[in-house]
């Protein structure tokens, strides 16, 4: 907090110096809007920053001046000498208070009513003499931290000079390595290198600051606002260790303050209203920061009432910002964007918190001034999310340098999971559907070659390259094949040219130690441009890992959802191909069951027994076993989770396989095998305790069949396990492991109809399968 107050004092002093002649010049030329805006911005900034600190007297003064200047800006009042004198007196008093704060003293109690009253039209001139309580000796001034404010341009010049020193040092190091030097010269050079490294680090970090310094005042501010508004709000802050340019932090401070204030004032409801909406009394406000490629993302989320897009449209039409015809064609995102129009506010009344219409337009202008954007997403009744996307103008990123041919690039170390040789014993490369797949110690991930993405020539074959396993922020892992891997180093990154950044591949540019430019990749951009996408069978097979070889059960990812009847259920994530939302007109009865039309495909639909009467939309999971698809209707997705508890089997076969605990609450597990079997056959179930071997590289066996076999009482082991199995289940035409050639075997076929003398079982013949499992248990 002391650092924040010091920054506040330094900023106010600098602005006061620049305002010295602005007010007098504004009096001489009242039509000069630029000077009026400068004065208004100062008092507005002081008032806003008081939300971080407990300075009520200072806030009252600045708020009063802001009100008067807002009237002038809106044309409701003229700038006469009496108003200018009153504003001058208030700014002088603000300056005195800033000096008291800067000296480390507490602001004395007092009444500034005479100064505030002098702002009213027709009032007498204020008494501008400073009260004795605000003047006198500043004995604590000597204890204030020593600071100096420098221009960003000067810091950039110093940083550039240090970078040149580093490059010259590296060039000298290469020459010393190539020649015979005395020990005394070598040790002197090492000492010089250490000094330069320390200097580079110190100069670089003069521009860097942890973003937690921006967040630290938010809990106090939200607490005070909540108490003033009669609300209960809990603040959750994440990502405070992200580093950002100091100038960027200062540019973000006011926009963030506005958004948080609006979230508490307009977004989060009062406790009684939240209880009526079946919510907790305490609202949740989450502020988080993370780095994604060449941007810092700051999310401000609340679980309040959400944004009424139609109300924004109505206000905009009434204000003449947009006509009715254009308003009727606006999308939801375009409706939300109207909140950034100057002077547009949906607040019922003007308060010290919000509602003047000068907030959200300032948010957008400040963010766009630094090359960022503001994104809004909201769901009525559920809350809102605002995302500030700001660029990395200058940051230090640990990176790995790689090359294709003679071209060098860098990859952020935070996105790298591991590095392996493509021809290593634990790595297998293959092609599936024309796309590359790398199997690394049993885990299958998409594989792309950097040379193919960039269109650069490479003299190495696929097996000679090195694989870098990357995990982009918010994405899934994939393997990037490069020719060579070089050094790990910390790089100072700046934005590349707009044409380069527009490719979506890069996060910025930097210089290598030899002075050559290097482009820094964005891991997510590489995945997008490289066409990385996880097909359903690949997604399912990647969760089969080394645990299967020992017969252990790995935690299975599931999608937790709520049915149309309100039940809490889960479905294995590996079987969900995608989520669709279709109109009720796409649903119809056919061949004795409800079906849904998705493009050119017609799928059987479960989870719904009739076509909705309201003509609305239906959300459904598109489940796939790699060959066929079915739809499963649902109301809402709750969360992604892992199935790591014991599943208690259902008493009878049906749509529910059993019940388990997920997130500490009961959830029913969907029996997807039963769904596929019901749409083409009957169902039955039995219990028997035996050991069954299933191939671990077959996703259908692991996701569709394994639950059925385990529900029948079998313990499942993988194909690689050396444990003796009582029963082996394999796909027709596939070879058996050598140690299982004499074991009891159940062969499964993909076709419903069997050929003559074919003793295999159709894989969705649940009754036949259960009979075979029972028979196998009885003959062993």
Mean pLDDT of 364-380: 76
**pTM of the full structure:** 0.38
Mean pLDDT of 543-566: 61
* Phi/psi at 681 (5° precision): -175, -170
Mean pLDDT of 442-464: 81
Mean pLDDT of 293-315: 84
Top-level class of domain 210-391:
alpha beta
Pick the CATH number of 690-779 from 3.40.50.2300, 3.30.930.10, 3.90.70.10, 3.30.200.20: 3.40.50.2300
210 — pLDDT class (breaks 50, 70, 90): confident
pLDDT at 148: 66
Rounded mean pLDDT of the chain? 76
pLDDT, one tens digit per residue, over 593-617 is 888 887 767 888 888 888 887 777 8
pLDDT at 534: 42
91 — pLDDT class (breaks 50, 70, 90): confident
Question: Token pair for residue 748?
Answer: 């499964």
Question: Token pair for residue 277?
Answer: 């909406």
498 — pLDDT class (breaks 50, 70, 90): low
For residue 268, pLDDT beyond 70: yes
For residue 203, pLDDT beyond 50: yes
Domain regions of the chain by residue span? 2-143, 152-206, 210-391, 395-534, 545-678, 690-779
pLDDT, one tens digit per residue, over 135-151 is 443 433 334 455 666 77
pLDDT at 302: 92
pLDDT at 291: 79
Q: Nearest 10 degrees: CA dihedral of 450, 453, 456, 458?
A: 40
Mean pLDDT of 556-569: 86
191 — pLDDT class (breaks 50, 70, 90): confident
pLDDT cut 90: percent of the chain above it: 1
Query: Would you say 680 and 579 are in contact if contact means Cβ atoms under 8 Å apart?
Result: no
Query: Would you say 251 and 370 are in contact if contact means Cβ atoms under 8 Å apart?
Result: yes
For residue 76, pLDDT beyond 60: yes
54-68, 144-158, 327-341, 722-736: least confidently modelled range: 144-158
Looking at domain 2-143, its CATH superfamily turns out to be: HPT domain (1.20.120.160)
Of the two residues 139 and 176, the one the predictor is more confident about is 176
The CATH-assigned architecture of domain 395-534 is Roll (2.30)
C-alpha 46/C-alpha 538 separation (Å) is 56
Q: CA of 627: how far to CAs of 243, 630, 730, in Å?
A: 48, 11, 17
648-649 and 443-449: which strand pairing? Answer: unpaired
Q: What is the DSSP letter of 347?
A: -
pLDDT, one tens digit per residue, over 667-704 is 899 988 888 888 753 333 344 457 888 888 888 888 88
pLDDT at 738: 66
For residue 492, pLDDT beyond 50: yes
Q: What is the DSSP letter of 131?
A: P
Mean pLDDT of 140-165: 65
pLDDT at 475: 57
Residues 6+ apart with CB under 8 A from 588: 594, 595, 597, 611
For residue 651, pLDDT beyond 50: yes
745 — pLDDT class (breaks 50, 70, 90): confident
pLDDT at 114: 82
Residues 6+ apart with CB under 8 A from 755: none
Mean pLDDT of 123-135: 48
Question: Token pair for residue 174?
Answer: 């290469």
């Amino acid at each position: 907090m002391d650092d924040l107050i010091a920054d506040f004092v330094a900023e106010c002093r600098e602005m006061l110096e620049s305002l010295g002649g602005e007010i007098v010049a504004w009096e001489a030329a009242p039509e000069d809007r630029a000077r009026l805006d400068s004065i208004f911005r100062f008092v507005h900034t002081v008032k806003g920053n008081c939300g971080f600190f407990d300075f009520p007297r200072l806030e009252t003064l600045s708020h009063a001046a802001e009100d008067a200047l807002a009237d002038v800006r809106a044309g409701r009042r003229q700038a006469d000498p009496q108003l200018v004198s009153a504003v001058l007196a208030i700014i002088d008093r603000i300056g005195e208070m800033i000096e008291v704060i800067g000296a480390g003293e507490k602001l004395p109690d007092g009444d500034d009513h005479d100064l505030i009253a002098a702002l009213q039209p027709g009032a007498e001139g204020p008494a501008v003499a400073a009260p004795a309580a605000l003047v006198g000796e500043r004995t604590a001034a000597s204890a204030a931290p020593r600071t100096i404010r420098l221009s960003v341009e000067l810091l950039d010049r110093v940083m550039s000079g240090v970078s040149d020193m580093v490059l010259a040092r590296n060039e000298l190091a290469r020459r010393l390595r190539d020649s015979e030097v005395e020990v005394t010269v070598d040790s002197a050079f090492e000492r010089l290198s250490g000094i330069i490294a320390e200097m580079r680090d110190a100069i670089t970090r003069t521009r860097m600051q942890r973003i937690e310094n921006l967040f630290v005042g938010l809990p106090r501010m939200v607490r005070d606002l909540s108490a003033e508004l009669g609300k209960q709000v809990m603040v959750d802050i994440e990502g405070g260790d992200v580093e950002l340019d100091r100038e960027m932090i200062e540019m973000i401070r006011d926009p963030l303050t506005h958004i948080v204030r609006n979230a508490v004032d307009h977004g989060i409801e009062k406790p009684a209203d939240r209880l009526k909406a079946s919510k907790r009394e305490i609202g949740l406000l989450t502020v988080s920061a993370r780095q994604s490629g060449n941007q810092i993302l700051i999310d401000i989320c609340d679980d309040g009432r959400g944004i009424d897009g139609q109300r924004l449209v109505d206000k905009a039409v009434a204000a003449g910002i947009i006509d009715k015809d254009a308003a009727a064609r606006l999308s939801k995102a375009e409706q939300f964007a109207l909140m950034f129009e100057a002077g547009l506010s949906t607040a019922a009344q003007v308060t010290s918190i919000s509602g003047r219409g000068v907030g959200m337009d300032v948010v957008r202008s400040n963010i766009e001034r630094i090359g960022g954007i503001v994104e809004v997403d909201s769901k009525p009744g559920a809350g809102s999310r605002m995302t500030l996307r700001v660029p990395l103008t200058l940051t230090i990123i640990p990176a790995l340098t790689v090359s294709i041919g003679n071209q060098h690039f860098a990859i952020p170390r935070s996105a790298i999971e591991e590095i392996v040789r493509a021809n290593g014993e634990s790595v297998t490369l293959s092609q599936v559907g024309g796309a590359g797949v790398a199997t690394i110690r049993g885990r299958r991930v998409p594989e792309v070659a950097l040379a193919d993405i960039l269109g650069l020539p490479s003299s190495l074959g696929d097996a000679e390259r090195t694989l870098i396993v990357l995990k982009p922020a918010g994405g899934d892992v994939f393997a990037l094949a490069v020719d060579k891997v070089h050094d790990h180093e910390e790089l100072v990154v700046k934005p590349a040219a707009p044409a380069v950044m527009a490719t979506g591949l890069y996060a910025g540019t930097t210089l290598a130690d030899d002075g050559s430019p290097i482009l820094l990749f964005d891991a997510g951009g590489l995945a997008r441009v490289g066409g990385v996408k996880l097909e359903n069978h690949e997604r399912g097979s990647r969760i089969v890992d080394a645990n299967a070889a020992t017969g252990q059960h790995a935690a299975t990812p599931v999608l937790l959802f709520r049915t149309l009847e309100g039940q809490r259920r889960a479905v294995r994530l590996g079987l969900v191909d995608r989520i669709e939302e279709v109109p009720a007109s796409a649903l119809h009865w056919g061949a004795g069951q409800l079906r849904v039309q998705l493009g050119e495909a017609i799928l059987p639909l479960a989870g719904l027994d009739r076509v909705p009467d309201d003509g609305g939309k239906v959300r459904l999971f598109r489940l796939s076993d790699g060959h066929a698809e079915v739809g499963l209707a649902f109301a809402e997705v709750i969360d992604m989770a892992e199935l790591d508890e014991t599943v208690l089997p259902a008493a009878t076969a049906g749509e529910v396989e059993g019940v388990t605990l997920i997130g500490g609450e009961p959830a029913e597990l969907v029996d997807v095998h039963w769904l596929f079997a019901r749409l083409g056959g009957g169902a039955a179930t039995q219990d028997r305790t035996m050991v069954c071997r299933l191939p671990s590289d077959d996703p259908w066996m692991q996701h569709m069949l394994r639950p059925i076999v385990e529900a029948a009482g079998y313990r499942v082991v993988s194909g690689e396990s050396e444990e003796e199995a009582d029963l082996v289940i394999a796909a027709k035409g596939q070879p058996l492991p050598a140690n299982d050639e004499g074991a009891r075997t159940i062969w499964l076929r993909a076709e419903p109809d069997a050929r003559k003398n074919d003793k295999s079982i159709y894989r969705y013949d649940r009754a036949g399968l259960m009979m075979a499992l029972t028979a196998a248990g009885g003959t062993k």
